[in-house]
Structure 1
Amino acid sequence: MVRSTALVPRHYVDLGVRGPEDVIADPEGRVLTGVEDGRVLRLTGIADPSRTRVEVLAETGGRPLGLELLPDGALLVCDARRGLLRIDPAGGAPRVLADSVAGEPLRFCSNVVALSDGTVYFTVSSRRYPLERWIGDMAEHTGTGRLLRLAPGAERADVVLEGLQFANGLAPSGDESFLVIAETGARRLTRHWVAGPHAGRSEPFAEDLPGMPDNLWRDGDGRIWVALAGPRLPALDLLHRAAPAVRRTAARVALRAPYRPAGTAAVLAVDDTGRVVHHLLRRRSGFRMVTSGCVAGGLLVLGSLWERGVAVCEPPMGEG
């Protein structure tokens, strides 16, 4: 793990609504995100907050989380309530691509990527808890997260990998031979091979992270940006080693207790070997629960399930 350097905030873009959970950048440097009220937004001109313009691209009727921009301009959306959706560039209502797997409704779709052959992979964080009760899964440590696949032309998704600890962010390797999966509940990144001699095999990619990984985003320089939604909590690590009955009781308590995120903001960048190349950290941060990060227009943009806007930060030292 490389030594952390300062995460330097530049300005804040207020969206007037909570929860820009995932942020991604398009080729023009605009930022796309989904918010709590079901809208999918596009932010233009983020370098100057006085000139930032916010457009509504669609309303999902649910709760949009992870996003993936396709080469034809369409947008894939993991909606926590409605499943995997597609928003066409010409507009119109979002189209449902998958809302169940093996007859089971998708409770908590989280993040999505599309490979160059048209195969779509997406994660389900929990089969037991919905988004609004995510902290219950973190406490109970259910291991019910999944990686799903929608093959080109297929009408139904299939299960690729099960038993993940709160499967969250997803990103491909540069050659698309493997996927990197964030397991928030285990503070690790997992590699799942999808091509080559190891296809179908999974293994650790980066373990014992300094925080809880959330969304992932691959930039044009071969780095995968890893949002850390919260710092490592030794008490939570200890709880995860307790008996299932103890964890279930802790989950019930956690669901009744008021929640406030830790006052830190942090992101990592890793390369295709799992080596950490950047660890940006701000203690006593006014922007909390960083759930995503992307680079747009040479600036690092952070999203949050908790906040009512996005944070625009300086890129790592020596860049931009």
Structure 2
Amino acid sequence: DDGTIYFTDASIKYDQHHYVLDMLEARPWGRLIAFNPETGQARTVLDELYFANGVALSSKQDFVLVNETYRYRVTRYWISGPKQGRSDIFIDRLPGFPDGISSSGRGTFWLALPTVRNPQADFMHPWPFLKEIVARLPDSARPKPAPYGLIVELDEQGNVLRSLHDPEGDDFPFITSVQEVNNQLYLGTLTGKGIGVVSAQLRPKP
């Protein structure tokens, strides 16, 4: 552990208030940045990411994961070992938009997906003129994300171990972060007024 801090810049073109425009444009404006506290220097280690979001370090500290929200995938960047400096896809074709990701402390990762994929958004991507029309619409007329609660546990090979769902979004929708502490999962959201807590031992219903 050399003390390097990894964080993301979601978009070098759009600010947070215009994230929908970033999604509609669907270009890789995001980047992963490494900051060295000793030197005070920051450097971009991975660019051309599609809305770079949550970051998590592996248990062996040999790679770091970064979410690409608008590509429904998680990218892995190797920071040591024979693949150092290279990147690959950790998991893709996710059922929703990956936001926050964290280490469980048990050699796995927790991934938060605020909502599931929107068929209307998927349909528009090949058609720039449709996206331009939507970009000009007021917020009230744009497609809305479905209220849904979803977190996924992944192993360090990118395999899904389990997923926990709130399909109607009645209990805790739009989950943007999840952190495991003492066998409890603490859930964060941008839209709610509190922090959700569920047991880390909870299993999906058969």
Q: Same fold (TM over 0.5)?
A: yes
C-alpha displacement at 1:157, in angstroms? 1.4
Larger Rg: 1
C-alpha displacement at 1:256, in angstroms? 6.1
How many residues end up aligned between the 2 structures? 202
CA shift digits 1:235-289 (9 cap, x unpaired): 222323333x553443333656477542210000101100111111111123221
Paired position in structure 2 for 1:304: 189
CA contact (8 A) 1:184 1:214 kept: yes
RCO greater where, 1 or 2, for CA within 8 Å and sep 6 or more? 1
In structure 1, how many angstroms separate the alpha carbons of the residues matched to 2:9 and 2:138? Answer: 21
Classify 1:252/1:146 alpha carbon distance in 2 versus 1 (closer, same or farther; 3 Å).
Answer: farther
Paired position in structure 2 for 1:196: 81
Residue identity over aligned pairs, in percent, reads 35
Q: Is 2:161 aligned against 1:277?
A: yes
Q: Which runs of 5+ in 1 are unaligned?
A: 1-115
C-alpha displacement at 1:131, in angstroms? 1.4
Classify 1:196/1:231 alpha carbon distance in 2 versus 1 (closer, same or farther; 3 Å).
Answer: same
CA contact (8 A) 1:136 1:252 kept: no
State how 1:147-226 maps to structure 2 within 5 Å: 147-226=32-111
- Across the aligned residues of Structure 1 and Structure 2, the Cα RMSD in angstroms comes to 2.0
CA contact (8 A) 1:177 1:193 kept: yes
Classify 1:260/1:246 alpha carbon distance in 2 versus 1 (closer, same or farther; 3 Å).
Answer: closer
CA shift digits 1:17-38 (9 cap, x unpaired): xxxxxxxxxxxxxxxxxxxxxx
Helix, strand or coil at the partner of 1:313: strand
Classify 1:201/1:252 alpha carbon distance in 2 versus 1 (closer, same or farther; 3 Å).
Answer: farther
Helix, strand or coil at the partner of 2:19: helix
Q: Which has the higher helix share?
A: 2
TM-score (norm 1): 0.59
In structure 1, how many angstroms separate the alpha carbons of the residues matched to 2:187 and 2:136? Answer: 31
Q: Is 2:137 aligned against 1:253?
A: yes
State how 1:95-134 maps to structure 2 within 5 Å: 116-134=1-19
Paired position in structure 1 for 2:112: 227
CA contact (8 A) 2:120 2:143 kept: no
Q: Which has the higher strand share?
A: 1
Q: Which runs of 5+ in 2 are unaligned?
A: none
State how 1:7-22 maps to structure 2 within 5 Å: none
